[in-house]
Structure 1
Amino acid sequence: MKLHPLSAVWNAFRRGIGGALFPFFLLVIGQSFDFVSFSLLFVLLPVGFILGAGYGIAYYLQFEYELTEDTFDVTSGVLNRQHREIPFRRIQNIDVTQSFIQRLLGFAVVRLETAGGGETEAELNFIDRAEAARLQSTIRDRKRAVTKPTDSADRPLEESSLESDDAGSVSTILFELRLTELAFLAIAFLRPGALLIVPLGLPFGEDLAISLLLTLSRPFGGPAELSPTTLTPDAIVVLFLVGLPLAILGAWIASALFTFIEYFGFELRRIDNDLVYERGLLRRYSGTIPVEKIQTLTISEPVLARPLGYAGLTVETAGYAPGQSQSGETESAIPLTHREHMLKLARAIEPFEELTFTRSPKLARRRYTVRYLLLIAALVGLGYLGFRFVGFSYWYAPAVLLPLAPIAAHYKWKHRGYCVGENHIVLRDGFWRRTTRVVPYYRLQTVLTRSNIFQRRLGLATVTADTASSATLLGGGATAYDIDSSDAQRLHTLLRERLQQRLLARS
């Protein structure tokens, strides 16, 4: 089977632009700007476009895909022919993406992700939306036929209405994001990547930003204008301290806008043994979460959401996180809803016990206090160096944070803990964005216990429950921080014993 003919047009245009720009880049690199070079450039530009467009059309003509009984086959390449056979049992996620223009035209892009890292194994550009839905359903059915269901895959999920898709599979609506929840989600979560938008967007509003910064900083000793004579060390620090909250506010607004657009119309369904979700206002995205591959459930509670009882849920699978971006950021299976409703849905996916957490000993809180005090002392020391060498007057300013050190340490200690259940280990961490990770014992890969020199002096240790999820691969594993060394050893032994018991029970 071949892609839609529009794919040939797109490939021809994209490759043609690349071919046309190639002679221009050669001219820039060679720094040859005489009349003859420019005359030759106007000849090579259309030639490069024709060659690139021809290659794009040839790529379309040579690209074919086929569904067999056991594999999804893709043949591609113009000069170097490639033939890939992707077994259905290795396919982990089937992503269907539609940009705004593609939605208007009725086309979609299908990406097949395989286990072992979440790399895109095959990508089908510009296929009909109905064909994309057919591929999604057919691959899901054939994958289920060759995959032995696990206990977690056979576990029924509760919720409201039942429907049937085109292939006759039962479809259960698990969750729909309401508009009020979407608005609160946009406000409660600050996307770290939004901080990059501030410097990128500054050139478009430079005059307004500078005027606002100077106006707000003037009562605190800021300069009247930006010039070499007024930018003293004190003025620079004042501008930074006033500008930082403004930058965060701008990033927050941008983050809220992107979150609203990204999660608009979010819907989570269960189709047989898979969780399937759709989201997006301008760019519509559909992805699949294989239930049998689920490794960890992560409950997220931002500081703004906790007082109102809201929380989100992320489902992490082996080697791949649903909706994982190229930056490795995972996506929530349930973006935000009332905590009780979210816990009900989470327990329907992985039934875990009631949560009663054991906190770290109070020695850990003292350790955090000392750490924050040392950090403040370091800032004061740097300020004093600034005073000695560049004349910075407010070198002692970080000392105003000293009363906050024990308060910050207390809340850090308060929101850490672990809960040992009959079938799961649950670990909690974080104040600004508290995360609670639920790890089934049979999903454990390794149990790690660490204790650095400072922890050993206080008799503390850290235990990590390592699974095959992508969050662990990216350094975000479920961890019990700064617990008593003897408790850490008992927890380490218990987790290994429970893992062995589950493996024996499942063999």
Structure 2
Amino acid sequence: MTSTPDPAPGASAAPVTAERRLHPMSWLFVLLQQLKQFIVPLLALLFFGRGDRNELWPLIGVGVLVVVSLWQYATYRYGVAGDRLVVRSGLLERSLRVIPFARIHNVALQQSLLHRLFGVAEVRLESAGGKKPEAQMRVLKLSDALALEALVRRRGAVTDAEAAPEPAAEPPLLVLPPGEVLRLGLVSNRGLIVVGAAFAGASQFSPRLIPNAFESLGGELFGYAGAHGFGPAEYALAAASLFAGFVLLLRLFSMLLALLQYYGFRLSEHERRLTVERGLLARWRTSASRRRIQAWTLREGLMHRLLRRRSLEVDTAVADDNPEQSRALRELAPIAPAATCDALIEHLLPKAQWSQLEWRPLPAASWWRLFLPGLPWTLLITVALTWRFGGWGLLALGWLPWAAFKARRRAQRSAYAMGAELVAAREGWWSRTWRFAELDKLQALQLTRSPVDRRCGTATLWLDTAGAGAMAPPLRIRFLPEAEARALYAALSRTLAKRPLRW
């Protein structure tokens, strides 16, 4: 038997309300989830089998999985006991989980196309910092899943979620129409995911399938060019056309993927909990308390600026073993006008006074420190190209003026700001980011000085928060004069010492 820690002594032991079961078709979804790793061999057996009886042995495993799925449905129960959720499962080896509502930081509902056809949803109850959900229910009737989400949202204030009156619906904070979703496809350039998946799938059937296709296509193209007597100009035009066509194809794939993943995007707020819904065929719905947000990232790439858009992301201290669910919770505004992103920040962080922060620029003379790391690579590439192509390889040195220009612009834009409730850092020029966090959410401060820092009299201040994603930019302030860095470090230390840490 497994369970969470018992309630504090003296707490009233509330009786468990009528226990509920999973949806009658839940065994089918559990079976399909377990069959994912066997689906390719089974399809090969079905379509390419030769009639040998030995090939039917895998079907015994499928039968066992069916029995296991039915067993899980028959033994799984959940109910509410005051401010706790009670989950029972197993018959021979019984398991009991008592999960306080205060421990549940995120409620995630997932609906695939099959889920939507049956009117059901998979529910995941996640806690802060865990790699696995506190409870995972495959599957519940959609109305029961929404009732459970509402009950968690109210922290168990009532024991019957269906009988409790729902508060009046508030207007959503952000809704993305199809036009904005298509813009997101242009910005994100996730078409490479589709191409990569196609290459991976094709290689599973034959390792030589893709190389043979490229050899055949290349032979036809060069044969056509040779038959028509193409010169250098024609070859260059043909290469540029192929490249433009490939980029256009990637953008089309990216827009299609954005429609599938972000169609119907809706960000809403219910009693200080944020809820994100999105998806065309499969739908994701996930919610978390505003106080679980640890850090914020505002992004603006080149395509963002061309379309006058930005994106707003957050880090939350919840389980992240499901990439799709974690991304649904992380992206508060996948794409939106700059004014909309600023309004969201002002609404969710009213005391931070985001629009009134005073940005302090970093020393502009530090541009050479941004330029220096790329210099050895440029020289190495130039040497390699010169060895292969002779004097033409020296053209690679033309990258250095552009790299120096970029470094200067990055140094000019780098800045930091510190208010009464917020600390923020701004970096980048070609691709811009704003990284910020509430002072109460900071967990660690670190002042570092590299040999170059000691030579230049500077330092870097690192600020750590919980739940930072692998792809999130670091929250740091670089190239600060040592005296200023130490003064900022001391001020932040005093502020953190006076305030309790919030999760």
Q: Output the TM-score relative to the length of structure 2.
A: 0.78
What is the CA deviation profile of residues 249-301 of structure 1, one whole-angstrom value per residue up to 9, with x for unaligned ones? 65444333212221111111111121112111111111102112222222222
Tell me how far 1:116 sits from its aligned partner.
Answer: 1.7
Tell me how far 1:210 sits from its aligned partner.
Answer: 6.1
What is the CA deviation profile of residues 54-94 of structure 1, one whole-angstrom value per residue up to 9, with x for unaligned ones? 22222221222222223222223466433222221110110
Contact 1:198–1:247, Cα closer than 8 Å, also in 2: no
| Structure 2 match to 1:348 | 347
| Structure 2 match to 1:88 | 101
Structure 2: gaps (5+ residues): 1-19, 45-49, 204-208, 227-237
SS of 1:182's partner is helix
- One-letter amino acid matched to 1:261: L
Tell me how far 1:175 sits from its aligned partner.
Answer: 1.7
What is the CA deviation profile of residues 164-183 of structure 1, one whole-angstrom value per residue up to 9, with x for unaligned ones? 99742343222211233222
Correspondence for 2:475 among 475, 478, 486 = 478
- Counterpart check, 1:436 vs 2:449: no
Contact 2:83–2:157, Cα closer than 8 Å, also in 1: no
C-alpha distance 209-17 of structure 1, shift in aligned 2 (>3 A): closer
Structure 1: distance between partners of 2:458 and 2:243 = 36
Structure 2: distance between partners of 1:287 and 1:181 = 21
SS of 1:333's partner is strand
Tell me how far 1:108 sits from its aligned partner.
Answer: 1.0
- Counterpart check, 1:258 vs 2:277: no
Tell me how far 1:399 sits from its aligned partner.
Answer: 2.1
SS of 1:480's partner is strand
C-alpha distance 420-442 of structure 1, shift in aligned 2 (>3 A): same
Structure 1: distance between partners of 2:307 and 2:314 = 23
| Structure 2 match to 1:447 | 445
SS of 1:268's partner is strand
Which segment drifts farther, 346-355 or 116-125? 116-125
SS of 1:425's partner is strand
Contact 1:22–1:48, Cα closer than 8 Å, also in 2: no
Correspondence for 1:68 among 78, 81, 95 = 81
Q: Give the 5 Å matches for 1:317-332.
A: 317-319=316-318, 324-325=323-324, 331-332=330-331
- One-letter amino acid matched to 2:145: A
- One-letter amino acid matched to 1:287: T
What is the CA deviation profile of residues 124-174 of structure 1, one whole-angstrom value per residue up to 9, with x for unaligned ones? 11321111111111122135789xxxxxxxxxxxxxxxxx99742343222
Which segment drifts farther, 241-250 or 263-272? 241-250
Which segment drifts farther, 123-132 or 452-461? 452-461
SS of 1:73's partner is strand
Structure 2: distance between partners of 1:479 and 1:136 = 36
| Structure 2 match to 1:55 | 68
Contact 1:189–1:302, Cα closer than 8 Å, also in 2: no
Tell me how far 1:104 sits from its aligned partner.
Answer: 2.3
C-alpha distance 48-182 of structure 1, shift in aligned 2 (>3 A): closer
C-alpha distance 477-328 of structure 1, shift in aligned 2 (>3 A): farther
Structure 1: distance between partners of 2:442 and 2:64 = 53
| Structure 1 match to 2:117 | 104
Structure 1: distance between partners of 2:434 and 2:62 = 54
Tell me how far 1:408 sits from its aligned partner.
Answer: 2.0
C-alpha distance 502-55 of structure 1, shift in aligned 2 (>3 A): closer
SS of 1:477's partner is coil
Contact 1:358–1:418, Cα closer than 8 Å, also in 2: yes
SS of 2:82's partner is coil
- One-letter amino acid matched to 2:479: D
Contact 1:91–1:143, Cα closer than 8 Å, also in 2: no
Q: Give the 5 Å matches for 1:456-475.
A: 456-471=454-469
C-alpha distance 503-176 of structure 1, shift in aligned 2 (>3 A): same
Contact 1:118–1:320, Cα closer than 8 Å, also in 2: yes
Cα root mean square deviation, aligned: 4.1
SS of 1:48's partner is helix
- One-letter amino acid matched to 2:26: S
Correspondence for 1:366 among 365, 368, 380 = 368
Contact 1:268–1:277, Cα closer than 8 Å, also in 2: yes
- Counterpart check, 1:8 vs 2:7: no
Tell me how far 1:487 sits from its aligned partner.
Answer: 2.0
Correspondence for 2:484 among 483, 487, 491 = 487
Tell me how far 1:5 sits from its aligned partner.
Answer: 1.5
- One-letter amino acid matched to 1:366: W
Structure 2: distance between partners of 1:306 and 1:439 = 24
Contact 2:366–2:411, Cα closer than 8 Å, also in 1: yes
Contact 2:458–2:482, Cα closer than 8 Å, also in 1: yes
Contact 2:22–2:77, Cα closer than 8 Å, also in 1: yes
Structure 2: distance between partners of 1:178 and 1:104 = 24
SS of 1:336's partner is strand
| Structure 2 match to 1:272 | 271
Tell me how far 1:43 sits from its aligned partner.
Answer: 5.5
Which segment drifts farther, 13-22 or 325-334? 13-22
Correspondence for 1:141 among 147, 151, 154 = 154
- Counterpart check, 1:497 vs 2:494: yes
SS of 1:5's partner is coil
Contact 1:76–1:83, Cα closer than 8 Å, also in 2: yes
What is the CA deviation profile of residues 279-327 of structure 1, one whole-angstrom value per residue up to 9, with x for unaligned ones? 1111111110211222222222222222543222223223457985488
| Structure 1 match to 2:14 | none
C-alpha distance 134-486 of structure 1, shift in aligned 2 (>3 A): same
- One-letter amino acid matched to 1:3: L
Correspondence for 1:410 among 408, 411, 423 = 408
Paired residue total: 456
Tell me how far 1:329 sits from its aligned partner.
Answer: 9.0
Contact 1:12–1:54, Cα closer than 8 Å, also in 2: no
- One-letter amino acid matched to 1:418: Y
Contact 1:369–1:406, Cα closer than 8 Å, also in 2: yes
- One-letter amino acid matched to 1:200: A
Which segment drifts farther, 391-400 or 403-412? 391-400
| Structure 2 match to 1:299 | 298
C-alpha distance 166-371 of structure 1, shift in aligned 2 (>3 A): same
Structure 1: gaps (5+ residues): 26-34, 147-163, 226-238
What is the CA deviation profile of residues 400-438 of structure 1, one whole-angstrom value per residue up to 9, with x for unaligned ones? 312212122123323422112222111112334422122
SS of 1:402's partner is helix
Structure 2: distance between partners of 1:13 and 1:284 = 18
Correspondence for 1:380 among 357, 361, 382 = 382
- One-letter amino acid matched to 1:360: L
Tell me how far 1:9 sits from its aligned partner.
Answer: 3.2
Q: Output the TM-score relative to the length of structure 1.
A: 0.77
- One-letter amino acid matched to 1:359: P
Tell me how far 1:475 sits from its aligned partner.
Answer: 6.6
Structure 1: distance between partners of 2:437 and 2:151 = 31
Structure 1: distance between partners of 2:36 and 2:277 = 33
C-alpha distance 324-69 of structure 1, shift in aligned 2 (>3 A): farther
Contact 1:297–1:346, Cα closer than 8 Å, also in 2: no
| Structure 1 match to 2:179 | 180
What is the CA deviation profile of residues 332-363 of structure 1, one whole-angstrom value per residue up to 9, with x for unaligned ones? 11222221122112111012232332222123
Structure 2: distance between partners of 1:370 and 1:297 = 29
